[in-house]
Chain A
Amino acid sequence: MLHLTHEPIDIQALLALDRYPECGGLALFVGTVRNHHQGMSVESLSYTAYAPLATKRIADIENDACRRFGLSYCRVVHRLGSLRIGDVAIACVVRSGHRAEAFEACRHVVDEVKHQAPIWKEEHYTDGSSAYVQGCCIRPDAHRDTCDGDHP
């Protein structure tokens, strides 16, 4: 399965339940489209990406997490295109020997993807307006005072 997809994410296929018998922990995070943001009523989202770097960074984040947390398996898929309320935007699965590192790694990986992968979210509101969500600067040589943006 690709890291970026315009098709609905097949979560069951991501779980890899028929593999990794050494694993007793599986953590799954699924991010879905919610109907509000900062007081605005959201009708839909549009996700776009710079694929050459986004796919590389997601793969690097997965590999780094496997080493750092001793995981047997780590997989992230992010949806692109137009999404409705309730649609799955991102799914992350990690499998490990025990639950503690699975929970910790899953949160770490999702945070890293949100902050490092060149993906953008445009919100479309029920009043007909739209806006891009303010995000994290990924310029490597940025001055600290010009790139202090962050998003949860």
Chain B
Amino acid sequence: MNLSFEFYGELIPLLAGNERFTLNASPPPATVADALVLLADHWPALQPRLDQCAVVCGSEVLLRSDPVPASGQLALLPPVAGG
């Protein structure tokens, strides 16, 4: 399956300015946590920040133990600082 990640905030400078990344995962990851392991394999610079990131699909916040959505689209949200 194609896994598409979107990145926000402080994650973007860690990825040389990339806001999106897609990888082909075979076999597909079973859980969100598994998907993040695959992501970190491609972008080791993300590893130290992943624990503090929420993972969402649309407006739904996912747990690490949740299955990967059928769309394969995940957004990583680092700690927030509005206002």
Residues of A within 8 A of B (CB): 31, 47-50, 52-54, 56, 78, 89-90, 110, 113-122, 132-143, 146-147, 149, 151
> Taking A50-B8, A53-B56, A149-B52 as contacts, is the C-beta distance between A140 and B79 under 8 angstroms?
no
A-B contact list, 20 entries, CB within 8 Å: A50-B8, A52-B56, A53-B77, A56-B59, A90-B82, A117-B80, A118-B8, A118-B54, A118-B80, A120-B9, A120-B78, A120-B82, A135-B78, A135-B79, A138-B77, A138-B79, A138-B80, A139-B52, A140-B63, A146-B51
In the bound assembly, the distance between CA atoms of A47 and B75 in angstroms comes to 18
Residue of A48, A90, A117, A140 touching B9 (CB-CB under 8 A): A48
In the complex formed, the residue of B with least CB distance to A139 is B54
Min Cβ gap A141→B in Å is: 5
CB-defined interface of B50-65 with A at 8 Å, one 1/0 digit per residue? 0111111011010111
Count of chain B residues near A, Cβ 8 A: 24
* B81 interfacial by beta-carbon distance below 8 Å: yes
* B17 interfacial by beta-carbon distance below 8 Å: no
B interface SS class: loop
Chain B positions within 8 Å of A143 at CB level: 51
Kindly list 5 other residue pairs between chains A and B, CB separation below 8 angstroms, not including A48-B9, A118-B54, A121-B83. A113-B82, A135-B79, A136-B81, A138-B61, A142-B51
Chain B positions within 8 Å of A115 at CB level: 80
Residue of B64, B65, B82 touching A47 (CB-CB under 8 A): B82
Min Cβ gap B17→A in Å is: 13
Chain B positions within 8 Å of A132 at CB level: 9-10, 13, 78, 81
